[in-house]
Amino acid sequence: MERKRLSKALAAAGIASRRACEEIIFAGRVQVNGETIKLPQHHIDWNTDRISVDGQTVKSEQKKFYYMLNKPVGYICTNIRPGRQRIVLDLFPEASERLFTVGRLDKETSGLLLVTNDGHFANKVIHPSSNVIKEYIVKTEQEITPEHLETLSQGARVDEKWVRPVSVHKIRKGNFKICVQEGKKHEVRIIAERAGLTVIELTRTRIGSLVLGGLALGEFRPLTERDKELLFSSTTYCTRQ
Ligand code: URA
């Protein structure tokens, strides 16, 4: 077997996304043949090297799991529990494999979240080149006016970059639907705030063409092959304004 960069090898083994694997390595949680390695570009060979994360041996090939979850409010997207807070993986009590969330939803956001142990898959969904559009339903304190819609559609500065929604539509009174392509932290809340709106509820309802559908809050189900295709199939429900 060829030699691989440590971060890439860990992602392929299903530890986390490539980026998150780099952080795990920087944090000194990875050992190669008993020695802590903090360099993501360190090369390893699965045949001859013994790799462990947090003291647990990692195998090159692990069975891959793919789930969609209807995340309830109050759960955090992280593998490391901050204090006594609830984390999304608490909703998967039977899972023995090392699962992680594909991207993040805020603690106060509910809705469609993918959970897997396949780092390649997670990268593909998250990477901007995949152009996967996410749809959110936002409930606000105020009634949505044409001025609000105009400001929302302009977008906002998020993390040093201007983020412009793919589309924004009023549903009724204080509810609107927004589609975004970026995956930036708090992006929808920041866009709403710039328009002078106070968000009461934020729910992700779609990723690509995969919809949350009737999945109950806190429930999850395995993704079918068709679901995985839907994630990456082009979307006609959001048209660039
Ligand atoms: N945008 C947000 O503001 N929050 C989320 O949880 C997801 C997208």
pLDDT the model gives residue 140? 98
Distance 197 CA to ligand 1 centre (A): 15
The structural architecture, per CATH, of the domain 63-241 is 2-Layer Sandwich (3.30)
Q: Is the CB of 189 under 6 A from ligand 1?
A: yes
Q: Is the CB of 188 under 6 A from ligand 1?
A: yes
Q: What is the pLDDT along the chain (241 residues), one digit of tens a residue?
A: 578 899 999 988 878 888 889 999 999 999 999 999 999 999 998 878 999 999 999 988 778 899 999 999 999 999 889 999 999 999 998 876 789 999 999 999 999 999 998 888 999 999 888 889 999 999 999 999 999 999 999 999 999 999 999 999 999 999 999 999 988 999 999 999 999 999 999 999 999 999 999 999 999 999 999 999 999 987 666 655 4
Q: Is the CB of 8 under 6 A from ligand 1?
A: no
CATH 3.10.290.10 residue ranges in the chain?
A: 4-57
Q: Is the CB of 139 under 6 A from ligand 1?
A: no
pLDDT the model gives residue 237? 61
Helix 225-232 and helix 119-126: axis angle, to 10°?
Answer: 30
pLDDT the model gives residue 95? 78
12 in Cβ contact with 4 (< 8 Å): yes
Cβ neighbours of residue 113 under 8 Å, at least 6 residues apart?
68, 69, 70, 71, 77, 88, 101, 102, 105, 204
Query: Does the annotation count 49 as an active-site position?
Result: no
From 163, 179, 188, 200, the mutation candidate for ligand 1 (largest count of ligand atoms within 8 A of CB) is 188
pLDDT the model gives residue 93? 86
204 in Cβ contact with 112 (< 8 Å): yes
Q: Which of 45, 54, 90, 106 is catalytic?
A: 106
Atom of ligand 1 at shortest distance to CA of 186? 3
Distance 204 CA to ligand 1 centre (A): 8
Q: Is the CB of 105 under 6 A from ligand 1?
A: yes
From 104, 184, 197, 202, the mutation candidate for ligand 1 (largest count of ligand atoms within 8 A of CB) is 202
Structure tokens at 143: 């009634």
Residue nearest to atom 7 of ligand 1 (CA): 105
Q: Is 9 exposed, middle or buried (0-12, 13-18, 19+ CB in 10 A)?
A: buried
CATH 3.30.2350.10 residue ranges in the chain?
A: 63-241
The structural architecture, per CATH, of the domain 4-57 is Roll (3.10)
* Helices then strands, each counted (H, E), the chain: 6, 17
191 in Cβ contact with 178 (< 8 Å): yes
Question: Among residues 101, 104, 204, 196, which one has the least CA distance to residue 152?
Answer: 196
d(CA 118, CA 74): 25
Sign of CA dihedral 146, 151, 154, 156: negative
DSSP string, 112-166: EEEEES-HHHHHHHHSGGG---EEEEEEESSPP-HHHHHHHHH-EEETTEEE--S
Return the SS3 of 24: helix
Distance 97 CA to ligand 1 centre (A): 27
Residue 35's Cβ-side half-sphere holds a number of Cα atoms within 13 Å equal to 7
User: Strand order of the sheet with strand 35-36?
Assistant: 35-36, 30-32, 51-53, 56-57
Strand pairing of 56-57 and 51-53? antiparallel
